[in-house]
Structure 1
């Protein structure tokens, strides 16, 4: 059984814990959004209550994301700057995987800002931006799997698998409940529900679960980031 040695700093553990909790909360938010929208909305629970729960989960996700970002930047091991938290793919440390997390954060911030301006934007424009939250979820999942040094820990793998199963299951359930129309949207959702598990499984099998992943990621850092 793989174990994780307790060799990191308190900031490192705080960053990993807050990032994991943010992923779990984002998964819950996405699943709730998928299963409670359109004709799939449950009849025993009012839309107002679902909306309040959805909003509170979203805000809690952003709180843990803020903790995740702050602790990661303050951690002296990786030497990240504050600009990395908002500018994707600019880090010298694992730029691709950190960039995916930054992109996910930017998408969620866009949803937050536009939600505050919802009355001025109009419902149609706000909904168009709101769909970005669904795009943020796979970015966050691959960010955690690619960046996390604890990805090989069985408990962490089961957590990723659980998040993946919940979202994919929610998508297929929503597709089964969907009525006629919006063929393009349903086709995109079906393709994504198939592609994300396949790509993630292939990535884990050939990347983080293989020996020497940290060294290969460091080599990628030198090539892409230009660091020593």
Structure 2
């Protein structure tokens, strides 16, 4: 899951982003309305977590713009994170288009639970993904090949999920870093190769993730 965190408090943003990355979420951080819009022009996020009190505008204005501005990539879900705890503020946030509303200060475990719940909502489609003999239960985060359950780490699961969302497409290491890790990942790191090697071993034979020389990797649809 890729998350946009819009928070102008640098200390809070750092703590939350670190915690989310430790949970294997890919996180981009923006401290202003303008920076958030810049990121949203090029990236579709699974969830946008938005503070309302931004230095250059109200977060609710950004929530509203996401619903109507064709130049912005609308996140699949939007979660408001704010100190505004009045009922009227919550109603305004949800009516503006937010999917959930969490009041500061909050427990990190509750934030993670709400993100999981938003992820389970998806886009109204089945939470089970099937490609050939591969099956992913996106809600339970479980995977099988030909009926055999795979013991995957969170990062391996996210990597396989991304491949299964793009069957047959050639995905570069940069694509994988951007969507399975985050914008701060080192493009020269061996992380992709290491995690991919482990995932391939767990998937077994015949190989379904193949290397395309000088281009990247491709999930070949298994029979």
Q: Same fold judged by TM-score > 0.5?
A: no
With the length of structure 1 as denominator, give the TM-score of the two structures: 0.29
Structure with the larger helix share: 1
Structure with the larger strand share: 2
Structure showing greater relative contact order (alpha-carbon pairs closer than 8 Å, 6 or more residues apart): 1
With the length of structure 2 as denominator, give the TM-score of the two structures: 0.30
